[in-house]
Amino acid sequence: MGREDSLQRIVDGRTWSDFCDRLKQTGEAVLREGTPSDPLTRAEGWRYLTRLVRAGLDSVLEFGDPRLPGFYQLSNEVIKIGNDNPDNIYHNSTISGRYEYRITGSRGGVPFLSFGTKAGGYGSTGEMVPTGQVEADQLEIAADGSFELRVSCREQSGNWLPMQPETSMLIVRQTFLDRPNEDPAHYRIECLDPPEDTQLDPESFEERLFASLDFVEGTANLFVDWMQDYEKHLNQLPSDDQARCQAAGGDRTIHYLQSYWRLADDQALIVEAPKIPACTTWNLQLSDYWMQSLDYRHHRIHINKRSAHYEEDGSVRIVIAHRDPGPAWPNWLTTQGHREGGMLFRWVQADEHPAVETRVVGFAEL
């Protein structure tokens, strides 16, 4: 498409009309063969698409210029993607290997903090391949908690986060054990060779507008693919394909055990971790079919190293059930009315990654 045609499409409204037509087509992911058809899951699916549209527009239009980087939240308590971690604060920034950046901030008291550069995207390559990572415990941090981190393809002395020429995104993870009582890190990013002209480019606007829908379609279909794969080991928690997790934007210090749960009204799922290794943290979370974490603002849908009740031998028993089984099961996670969905167990900076055991029982047996 030539420049003149692109500009004319913006002027006469065809760009907006075509965007709305394509937006309607994104619903095909919710109606894919094999996806659950109960009203709750379908409603969550439609809500999921609205969330992805918001995330896509933010990432591509509002924060999509690598020359003018800024941190935004691609996933948070109301925008949920790919079994997002309820213990995390995520920040993203669009960057490019063509430029160099500086991150400045304060470390805070969060137990785990990492910065990772990625290449690709769910709307383009279907992956976010790692191109560099650094954790907070590798950084030189001043006595007052302040730090500076350079981000570039060119190796630098001091605190340096590598990129590659194809790098397109930065992801920051803050992982908490007790979020209300732990101080988060704070930081900002700047491009070291910013442009003089920051005006919206009408020609590139159309491309970026449609790229937001590429993100919606790519993300929705990617994680439906994953769930249909996880259904093969229903109600189990095997170690996931770590390379696939990393290629989808996962953190190199996290070992992922990921699966699919489904329970009848009179059933419960017991999850046992017989051995807890030395680690920064571990957690288990529940998600819906679309791999959106359940509502952790108002319900207990996840548990971690700090919040868990431990057995005398140091092991952990967790029960997933539709209703509270009582005080004998202090580690109860609610399904929040769902009959099926995703689940994810993480070992974070762990010395080893022991197997986690599961079994389905009758609720009356608890």
Strand segments (E) across 153-249:
160-162, 167-175, 186-191
Which regions of the chain carry the CATH code 2.60.120.600?
Answer: 234-365
**Confidence bin at 73 (pLDDT 50/70/90):** very high
- Identity (one letter) of the amino acid at 177? L
Sequence-distant contacts of 6-14: CB under 8 A, at least 24 apart: 6/202, 6/203, 6/206, 7/202, 7/203, 9/206, 10/202, 10/205, 10/206
The CATH class of the 234-365 domain is mainly beta
Query: What's the whole-model pTM score?
Result: 0.96
Instruction: Report pLDDT for 1.
Output: 60
**Residue pLDDT, tens place only, 300-327:** 999 999 999 999 999 999 999 999 999 9
Pairing status of strand 267-273 against strand 316-321: antiparallel
Q: Is the pLDDT confidence value at 356 over 70?
A: yes
In CATH, the number for domain 3-219 is: 2.60.120.1600
**What residues contact residue 121 under an 8 Å CB cut-off, 6+ apart?**
127, 128, 168, 169, 215, 218
Identify the burial level of 189 via C-beta atoms within 10 angstroms of its C-beta, where 0-12 means exposed, 13-18 middle and 19 or more buried.
buried
4-8, 88-92, 98-102: the lowest-pLDDT one: 4-8
Pairing status of strand 160-162 against strand 146-152: parallel
Give the separation between CA 28 and CA 39, rounded to whole angstroms. Answer: 16
Contact status, residue 364 vs residue 325, Cβ threshold 8 Å? no
H or E element in which residue 246 lies: helix 242-247
Which regions of the chain carry the CATH code 2.60.120.1600?
Answer: 3-219
Instruction: Report pLDDT for 288.
Output: 99
Q: Is the pLDDT confidence value at 198 over 90?
A: no
Sign (positive/negative) of CA torsion 256, 216, 303, 260? negative
Instruction: Report pLDDT for 136.
Output: 97
First to last CA, the chain: 64
Q: How many CB atoms lie within 10 A of CB 261?
A: 23
Per the model's pLDDT, the better-predicted residue between 170 and 201 turns out to be: 170
In whole angstroms, how far apart are CA 269 and each of 160, 173, 284, 293, 365? 44, 29, 13, 18, 11
